[in-house]
């Protein structure tokens, strides 16, 4: 058995029901890996990569990028992202031929980290921001680590159709439909007041460039049209509302941003599906920074850390927990669970049960 084949099989299962195309291709690639076929040749240098680096999605992103660049016309016939309508069941032979013909190019592209920056995750973020605003009554200073292109920093510039009301920016080009199950324990009528927004990423993407838009689109599953449309709407909004994403790892960036309290605002640090990409040493540094900054927090300058992270194996079907840790006090609450791409976000029933923050 090839070291990566089980990762490919798990990811194939995880792609359903959203992407039958990717489920079919990944399952075929898993068999091809075990048979020592073209997939094994392309992924040879990555055979020992851990699940946290999601090799299957890196390869799928490489294939999609070639389709988007019009370098894979046969495979494009099966990719709805470019208008392809050929049967899913016939996609693997086309993909297999592309893997054989463009092995070196695909091996190089498969080394790039996955950067989805899925704005569907704003369904979770906007709800927690409403909770924080209701509790503190303060304007928000929003910081995003692993921000990619910074699209989630425009969270208040999107619309959220919840039953018979629209939250956020009602005239936004991006509308997230039915983003929630249940409701967060918050004042939903309160408008969000975000007075500062910034992010960091080791490899930030500029959504204002053709290259940046190509990279972001390549990691969206090619037959999940709703997600593609959400991304394209968010990219249009980003033209008028660009955000700042610094090229930096999270720990040194946070050391500067959390170095002193900001009276009159609540500082919110947001991270979504990023923890798995940060090594243990840096995670420990980040936790230490949170604790130190939390010790400096006051009622007029509180700190909140909001996370949406996978609590199981990153490429298996598991739940994503939406948590809020608040200072002063350093208590952690589970507020919701969410699908990996954010929608739906299911808010917990009844009062949250705070627990002490633990690293």
Query: What are the sequence ranges of the domains in the chain?
Result: 5-109, 119-356
Q: What is the mean pLDDT of the chain?
A: 94
Coil, strand or helix: which one is 297? coil
The whole-number pLDDT of residue 316 equals 46
Please state whether the peptide bond connecting residue 17 to the residue before it is cis, i.e. omega within 30 degrees of 0. Answer: yes
Beta strands in 132-273 (DSSP E): 140-145, 159-162, 165-168, 175-177, 180-181, 194-201, 244-247, 266-272
Each residue's pLDDT tens digit, 312-347 = 654 445 689 999 999 999 999 999 999 889 999 999
* Pair 150, 280: CB distance under 8 Å: no
Mean pLDDT to the nearest integer, 57-67: 98
Each residue's pLDDT tens digit, 69-107 = 999 999 999 999 999 999 999 999 999 999 999 999 999
The whole-number pLDDT of residue 350 equals 58
The whole-number pLDDT of residue 354 equals 66
Nearest to 160, CA basis, from 138, 200, 128, 199: 128
Each residue's pLDDT tens digit, 105-156 = 999 999 999 988 899 999 999 999 999 999 999 999 999 999 999 999 999 9
The whole-number pLDDT of residue 77 equals 98
Say if residue 355's pLDDT is above 90: no
Say if residue 212's pLDDT is above 70: yes
């Amino acid at each position: 058995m090839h070291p990566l084949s089980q990762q490919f099989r798990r990811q194939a299962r995880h792609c359903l029901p959203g992407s039958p195309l990717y489920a079919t291709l990944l399952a075929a690639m898993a068999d091809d890996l075990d048979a020592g076929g073209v997939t094994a040749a392309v992924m040879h240098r990555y055979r020992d990569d851990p699940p946290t680096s999601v090799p299957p999605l890196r390869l799928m992103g490489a294939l999609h990028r070639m389709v988007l660049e019009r370098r894979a016309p046969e495979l494009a016939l099966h990719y709805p992202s470019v208008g392809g309508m050929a049967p899913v069941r016939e996609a693997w032979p086309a993909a297999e031929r592309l893997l054989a013909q463009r092995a070196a190019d695909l091996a190089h592209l498969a080394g790039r980290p996955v950067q989805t920056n899925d704005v569907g995750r704003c369904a979770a973020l906007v709800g927690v921001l409403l909770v924080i605003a209701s509790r503190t009554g303060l304007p928000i200073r929003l910081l995003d680590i692993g921000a990619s292109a910074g699209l989630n920093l425009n969270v208040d510039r999107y619309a959220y159709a919840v039953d018979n009301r629209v939250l956020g920016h009602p005239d936004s080009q991006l509308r997230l439909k039915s983003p929630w199950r249940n409701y967060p324990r918050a004042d939903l009528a309160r408008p969000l007041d975000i007075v500062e927004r910034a992010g960091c990423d080791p490899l930030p993407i500029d959504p204002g460039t053709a290259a940046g838009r190509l990279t972001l689109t390549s990691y969206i599953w090619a037959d999940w049209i709703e997600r593609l449309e959400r991304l394209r709407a968010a990219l249009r909004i980003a033209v008028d509302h660009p955000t700042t994403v610094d090229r930096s790892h999270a720990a040194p960036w946070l050391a500067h941003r959390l170095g002193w309290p900001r009276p009159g605002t609540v500082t919110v640090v947001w991270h979504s599906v990023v923890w798995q990409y940060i090594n243990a040493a840096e995670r420990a540094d980040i936790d230490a920074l949170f604790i130190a900054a939390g010790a400096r927090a006051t009622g007029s300058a509180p700190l909140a850390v909001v996370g949406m992270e996978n609590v199981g194996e990153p490429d298996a079907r598991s739940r994503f927990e939406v948590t809020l840790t608040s200072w002063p006090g350093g208590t952690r609450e589970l507020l919701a669970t969410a699908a990996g791409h954010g929608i739906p976000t299911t808010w917990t029933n009844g009062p949250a049960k705070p627990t002490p923050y633990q690293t």
